[in-house]
Structure 1
Amino acid sequence: MSAGSPSVITASELWLQKLSEPTSNPTDARPTRIRYVVLPLLAFAAASAYLTRHCLGVANTTMQEELGFNNEQFGYLYGAFSAGYLICQVPGGWLGQKFGTRTVMPVLSVVWSLCTIITAAVSSLGAMIVSRFVFGLAQAGLVPNGAKAVKDWFPVTFRGKASSIITMSMSIGSVITIWLTAHLLDDHGWREIFRTYSLVGIVWAVAFYFIFRTRPQEHRGANEAECKLIAAGEAEKSDATPEPFHWPTAVRQGATWALSGQLLFKAAGYNFYVTFFPAFLEYKYGITKTDAGMLTTWPLIGVIVGSLCGGAVIDGLYKRTNSKRISRCGTSVVALTMAGLFAVASTYTGTAAALVLVISIGAFFSGISIPCPWAASIDMGGKNSALVMGIMNSTGCLAGICISPFIGRLIDHIKATNGNWDIAVWVNAAFYILAALLWLGVNPNTQIGKRPDV
């Protein structure tokens, strides 16, 4: 193009330019809608994270055949991810508060994408363990920083829906990964698939950095009316500086332990569906691996639908009652209790399909409860919401590290002794009931980590 030729502006550049243009009247009573651009960005981040997280499990047997690993060694890879994920929950949230979610979230996405590329490039167990450990460190920051972005960009009456859309996107990412990887594996190989998946996170990071801003007040496309709409109902000070987090108070608060404990047991219940459930179906009913895998997707779909409905439920209850305790805690107590009861009821069915159908109804109820800890963490964390979310999610990681091996040993014992397979489902139901009971100790009106007045 010659120097005198007019510059060419692409459609995407025009769109981004329009988003960044200040409104002609910043005090216009009609709010802009930049927050609805932010929401799909956050949802896509969640889905793409699970794309790179669960592809390892789908490619498990193929990788073992090529690399000569056994299941115990593959367990070290899962454990490395869980350890990294656990360690960096709180630091990941702190980074978002210190440097802003606009900077931290893209950096984390690039790091976990590069780790996926490294996993696809190496062949030794040690190198893969290191890459998956760092991968877990990076992905640990997604949830607490996502929670902070929801708090910063959405009014309190919409946070439940926003949280449910993001958490639903995680489950959608899991289902897509299982289906897509299984179909691509034979023709393209696991290394090529991993490299391709990693590009998704890198592209998202670039788009997010250029479109997103940490606070709506910093976005030129968000007018004053939208900023006021987002801040409506908040009792916090208007400055963006996080209040000092008092760790001794947080440790002493029963709400901290209740909020964290409920996620531990709820995660244990969900992990059963994505880890040992296919094997359970094979052993109990003698069905093929393919049939067991297909049936395993039913509870995951139930979780997705329930998660989407959960946001509307808790926001609707809050609008009707003006009570965060009823909308967050009440919803969780009822939904998780129903999940446990349906799990128990499933053991009275006679076929694999019937059992999975009843369990999937329970999974739907468990999905309804998914947005509740997000919303409660935002409520109880205040300006330290990312930190509180990190504390809670750290405890949930223990389900993968500690409880999953326990379930594995239980299944091995039942198989070796020709015992009652229903015990595994009863234990899973107990996890959901325990989570429901712990929600009775959560009060969303209590701020975690706030220094008591002297």
Structure 2
Amino acid sequence: MAEQPLSTTKVKNTGRVRFLVLGLVFINIIINYMDRTNLSVAATQMAGELQFTPLQMGLIFSAFGWIYAALQIPGGFIIDRFGSRIVYGVGLFIWSMITALHAIANSFGGLVGLRLGVGAFEAPVMPSNNRVISSWFPENERASAIGIYSSAQFVGLACMTPLLFHVQELYGWRGLFLITGIVGMVWAVVWYCLYREPLEHKGVSQAELDHIRQGGAILESRQEAAKRKFAWSDLALMFRSRKLIGIYFGQFTISATFWFFLTWFPTYLVQYRHMDFIKSGYIASVPYLAAFFGVLLAGFVSDRLIKRGVSASFARKAPVILGMSLTLFILGANYTDSPTLIILFMSIAFFGNGLATITWVFVTALAPRHLIGLAGGVFNFTGALSSIVVPIAIGALIDGHNFAPALAFIAILAGLGICSYLFVVGRIDLDTPPEVKPQGSRVAR
């Protein structure tokens, strides 16, 4: 049967509370990634003071990901059960407090332990973001909403990286962690006070509720969700579809590029390309801005194509495949010593990574509606595995002053991601997730 374009219901006079909620999520993510990138900014000074080797720094970078990945699936279930207001607020406050405690760390073991703590309480973040968007936005606005909130990680990195370099210059790496931790704790209180689910928000109009309900948003009260119990069959459901498995692997490869930029990129500029410390903070922001524009472009173009009746499969997949293809330009940095060309190749690669970051739209489209949080947890679990593998692999691959094997490693993973979306995921029918068909029916492959 021919694929039907999604609803093009007009949004005039429906209310704008959902966009205020999107603004809260946007700020959450900026703070979230500030507390991830502060370590990459501190790495050079920290390694020098505490005499860490590149492999030890790789292990410290990756420690966050060990428990972050392990808790993705439990975190997704917790989101479905208790909601984003409580889980996000408590998690944000505690991981920010642990971030502040980095200021008193004096050993390799102590820093590994603290990074484990940050990873544990950040684990529900991305499934929670996806749950909020699935609750507040109809399908034909969802890619744009995902593009906007995903762009926060890039605009946050672009704007915060130079600021964090200056904070460290003034207060040292210990002061950097203390200040960023306090900012997060304050914002956690703001989030808890302001966020509500659609059915519980006093400011949302009936017209807006009808608009998002008719567009396929998930409207559920906390009382309904609290009745849900964990079942192993729900988890098994997440692996029954080849298409879901394909997007899981694809997310690993997309996240690999992101984690290179989030961990080793500043060190690459300072130690391996011999750029000035403060200057590198501004230079590093250029690829982050490129990724910011990439993810916004992908979201808005994808939704526009949907509203014009273009195949949903093409509209959603094209930015992802194009983005991963552009990521291959990272190899160009291995063949030049020009700072301008290095940043150009890095910017093209990270722009491509931004284009590919709208992949969360596949979770909301392919997963059972009552298990969006769990599906998001599995999806982000596979992506988070790259936060473990990539920092350690780069630490092991770099040899003396040669960073080229590490960049080749990132490009190879991007190539494998393209293959996954082309040959494993294939065409995607976004009308009815195959996993929610009645028992006994064949799961679509």
TM-score bracket, normalised by the shorter chain, equals 0.7 to 0.9
Pick the aligned partner of 1:309 from 281, 297, 313: 297
From the superposition, tell whether residues 162 and 64 of structure 1 become closer, same or farther in structure 2 (CA, over 3 Å): same
Letter in 2 for 1:195: L
Question: Which shows bigger deviation, 200-209 or 271-280?
Answer: 271-280
Other-structure match for 1:20: none
From the superposition, tell whether residues 60 and 257 of structure 1 become closer, same or farther in structure 2 (CA, over 3 Å): same
Structure 1 residue 144: Cα displacement? 0.3
Other-structure match for 1:157: 140
Matched, 1:89 2:72: yes
Letter in 1 for 2:152: S
Instruction: Tell me the distance in 2 between the aligned counterparts of 1:60 and 1:79.
Output: 13
Residues 112, 134 of structure 1: 8 Å contact kept:
yes
Residues 50, 177 of structure 1: 8 Å contact kept:
no
Matched, 1:146 2:129: yes
Residues 102, 213 of structure 1: 8 Å contact kept:
yes
Instruction: Tell me the distance in 2 between the aligned counterparts of 1:60 and 1:425.
Output: 19
Q: Which runs of 5+ in 2 are unaligned?
A: 1-11, 441-445
Other-structure match for 1:353: 340
Pick the aligned partner of 2:396 from 409, 415, 419: 409
Pick the aligned partner of 2:378 from 391, 401, 406: 391
Instruction: Tell me the distance in 1 between the aligned counterparts of 2:33 and 2:151.
Output: 11
Structure 1 residue 234: Cα displacement? 2.1
Pick the aligned partner of 2:60 from 43, 61, 77: 77
Matched, 1:251 2:233: no
Instruction: Tell me the distance in 2 between the aligned counterparts of 1:237 and 1:41.
Output: 19
Q: Which runs of 5+ in 1 are unaligned?
A: 1-28, 416-420
Other-structure match for 2:154: 171
Other-structure match for 1:121: 104
Comparing both chains, which one has the higher relative contact order based on Cα–Cα distances under 8 Å and sequence gaps of 6 or more?
A: 2
Pick the aligned partner of 1:298 from 280, 286, 299: 286
Residues 244, 366 of structure 2: 8 Å contact kept:
no
Structure 1 residue 123: Cα displacement? 2.9
Instruction: Tell me the distance in 1 between the aligned counterparts of 2:36 and 2:44.
Output: 16
> What SS does the aligned partner of 2:63 have?
helix
Matched, 1:228 2:210: yes
Structure 1 residue 346: Cα displacement? 6.2
Structure 1 residue 424: Cα displacement? 4.9
Letter in 2 for 1:171: F
Other-structure match for 2:319: 331
Instruction: Tell me the distance in 2 between the aligned counterparts of 1:367 and 1:163.
Output: 12
Other-structure match for 1:190: 173
What's the CA shift string for 1:134-180, capped at 9, x where partnerless? 21011111100010000001111111111111111112222333211
Matched, 1:364 2:364: no
From the superposition, tell whether residues 75 and 146 of structure 1 become closer, same or farther in structure 2 (CA, over 3 Å): same
Instruction: Tell me the distance in 1 between the aligned counterparts of 2:292 and 2:69.
Output: 24
Q: Tell me the number of residue pairs that the alignment of Structure 1 and Structure 2 aligns.
A: 418
Other-structure match for 2:94: 111
Structure 1 residue 108: Cα displacement? 0.6
Matched, 1:37 2:37: no
Question: Which shows bigger deviation, 310-319 or 320-329?
Answer: 320-329
Instruction: Tell me the distance in 2 between the aligned counterparts of 1:238 and 1:183.
Output: 45
From the superposition, tell whether residues 262 and 200 of structure 1 become closer, same or farther in structure 2 (CA, over 3 Å): same
> What SS does the aligned partner of 1:123 have?
coil
What's the CA shift string for 1:231-273, capped at 9, x where partnerless? 2232979786579763333323212211110011112233333
Structure 1 residue 286: Cα displacement? 6.6
Matched, 1:428 2:416: no
Other-structure match for 1:377: 363
Instruction: Tell me the distance in 2 between the aligned counterparts of 1:130 and 1:410.
Output: 24
Structure 1 residue 411: Cα displacement? 3.0
Letter in 2 for 1:259: I
Instruction: Tell me the distance in 2 between the aligned counterparts of 1:432 and 1:129.
Output: 28
From the superposition, tell whether residues 118 and 330 of structure 1 become closer, same or farther in structure 2 (CA, over 3 Å): same
Aligned-CA RMSD value: 3.0
TM score, norm. by length of structure 2 = 0.84
TM score, norm. by length of structure 1 = 0.82
Instruction: Tell me the distance in 2 between the aligned counterparts of 1:193 and 1:422.
Output: 30
Letter in 1 for 2:90: V
From the superposition, tell whether residues 35 and 182 of structure 1 become closer, same or farther in structure 2 (CA, over 3 Å): same
Letter in 2 for 1:227: L
| Larger CA Rg, structure 1 vs 2 | 1
From the superposition, tell whether residues 250 and 229 of structure 1 become closer, same or farther in structure 2 (CA, over 3 Å): same
Letter in 1 for 2:318: G
> What SS does the aligned partner of 2:238 have?
helix
